[in-house]
Structure 1
Amino acid sequence: MKIAIGSDHAGYLYKQAILQHLQAAGHEVEDFGTHSTDPVDYPKFIRPVAEAVAAGKFERGIVLGGSGNGEAITANRVRGIRCGLCWNLESARLTRLHNDANVLSLGERMMDLPTALQIVDTFLTTPFEGGRHLARIQQLDE
């Protein structure tokens, strides 16, 4: 799967670990930055991830920050993006199953790394259920 990934400084360490995890699993991943823990403004790194996913250049996106809230808000400002802020496996499963989320937002300060990696795997492997959820998603773009 082609995946775009980006973070601010507060999500940088998990971004690096997730990037390696995804590459080891055979995914094609492009890192949109940031490239250190030096303080940055998150929209500069998150919006390009969302725009690349919305343009169809990537199948999914993953964005990270301290809490993941600002990153989810930024990504969801891009038309065609459905970014879910996830904090456990069930939230990751449901954001795909019911919302067909195409971008995942994680907060590095909100969970340990093994949990974050499990959330990423759940997000990438859970299919969209469709059915009654499809009409609701179509309403988002009306």
Structure 2
Amino acid sequence: MKKLIFAFYVLFATLVMTGCKCTKGTVSKDALVSSGWVLSAMNGNNTLKSKFPNKLPNITFTADNKVSGNGGCNQYGGSYTVDADGKLGLGQMMSTKMFCQGVAEDEYLKILSKADKAKIEDKNLVLYSGDEAVLVFVPKTAE
């Protein structure tokens, strides 16, 4: 009986310790490409209408490692990689260069270029730079 109880505790301890290594919150490629995403917060600010009076920025990831979107005025695109831990690599972005007064597109693209990790949190896509959440997107269907 003591061996059975000991085995149970060993199993329980193993489950507790390995449970801490779960990937909850990380993002898979399938989750990225499942929907387009619309910006809902930038650097913790979710009052974006004054920064993007015409259109909120959006981003779309494809299964063939392409990323594209609209920065609030201009279209942009490039390539990306994402690993099992959510580490995100964005390649050089290209963008159209139409002038749009009063749009914080340059700020958005600069922040986007520094993003190095992606997570899904409460159905939202959160991009991080280091440990700081810098961009939060909602699924495009929730616009």
TM-score higher than 0.5: no
State TM-score, norm by structure 2. Answer: 0.29
- The TM-score, its normalising length taken from structure 1, stands at 0.29
* Structure of larger gyration radius: 2
Q: Which has the higher strand share?
A: 2
Which structure carries more helix by proportion?
Answer: 1
